[in-house]
Amino acid sequence: MSGKMESRMEDHRPSIDERRVMNFSLVVAVVLLGVKVTAAILTGSAAIYSDAAESVTHVLAVGFAAWALRLSHKPSDDTHHFGHDKVAFFSAALEGAMISAAGVLIFYEAARQYRLGSPVEALDLGLWLTSAAAVVNTVLGLALLRVGRRRRSGLLEANGEHVLADVWTSVGVVLALLLVRWTGDGWWDPLFAGIAGGKLLWTGVRLMKRSFGGLMDKADLEVEASVRDLLDGECANRGFSYHNLRHRHSGRTHWVELHLVMPDGVGLREAHEAATEIEAGIAALLEPEGRVITHLEPRSAEDREENWEAR
């Protein structure tokens, strides 16, 4: 027998702050791409070129993420019984892949410029434009992370990490241009471009690894500990026990399944009401949305394993 599925009822649309910060991210990405491409053309700097190359991938990734954000909030339908929120993992994986590709491209360009050599021009303009881009991206990246963590949106968090990776690239550009100015040695420019490429590659691989974990339903140990603490308390107070606890996170929804074991004398209505209360307590832990299913068992059947449900 399955207990009633509890969930927190929400509008199946992104919240206002999610939509606002994602739209702002897309606009900023397009504007800063134009700024960085202009700076790269005027200065001939490999470091600024690396920053602009990363911004190209960022614009494409943000465009996909904006679409994925809307799709992830689409409710379940006849062909997607569990909703559409797993698209967030695809979006984050794509963002990680594009960051990694940008890192490889930057490595190539840095090596080419180091080998061939090319003077850096218009240093002051390059410094001002890159510094301004870094400041804007810092504000945007922190805002994306804040909203993403509050809403438990891996999609927004991935976008925020991409933006902050862009900030580190810009910081490297500024340092490179300052060292070129102070020392007169142009090799600082491709050196810092290569460092920026390495940082981007590391960020991209980390994002892809985390996204693959989500797609493979990797368990969140912190969530599991919270659920077990609640279950231990509820079962101790009611004289119940539980087993076969399983959970996964599909992007914005936590799914939990477990077996609740009750004394043989508990009636159907009482068992249902108790299970419903426990389910509601678990769902309340799982922001922004939790869905819980319980399988009820009498104590006399506790040791009988259902092979079709064994882990």
Across-strand partners of 117?
none
Q: Nearest Cα to 16, choosing from 149, 162, 151, 138?
A: 151
Q: Which of 269, 248, 268 is nearest to 258 (CA)?
A: 248
Is the Cα torsion angle 14, 17, 21, 26 positive or negative in sign?
Answer: positive
Most confident region among 47-51, 81-85, 145-149, 293-297 by mean pLDDT: 293-297
* DSSP H/E element including 152: none
The pLDDT tens digits for 49-85 are: 777 777 787 788 888 888 888 888 788 888 888 888 8
Looking up tokens 């925020």 gives 160
**Amino acid type, 310:** A
Q: 16-215 with 221-309: one CATH topology?
A: no
Separation CA 181–CA 165 (nearest Å): 25
Domain ranges of the chain: 16-215, 221-309
Tens-digit pLDDT profile for residues 161-175: 878 877 877 787 778
Residue 208 has pLDDT above 70, yes or no: yes
Q: How far apart are CA 29 and CA 35, in angstroms?
A: 10
Between these two residues, 277 and 15, which has the higher pLDDT value? 277
pLDDT above 50 (res 9): no
User: 11 Cβ partners below 8 Å, 6+ apart?
Assistant: none
CA-CA distances (angstroms) from residue 223 to 92, 219, 255, 282? Answer: 21, 8, 11, 10
Amino acid occupying residue 183: T
Q: How far apart are the first and last CA of the chain?
A: 19
- What fold, for 221-309? Alpha-Beta Plaits (3.30.70)
User: Whole-prediction pTM value?
Assistant: 0.70
Half-sphere exposure of residue 229, counting CA atoms within 13 Å on the CB side?
7
Fold of the 16-215 domain? Alpha-lytic protease prodomain-like (1.20.1510)
Tokens 């500024």 sit at which residue?
Answer: 174
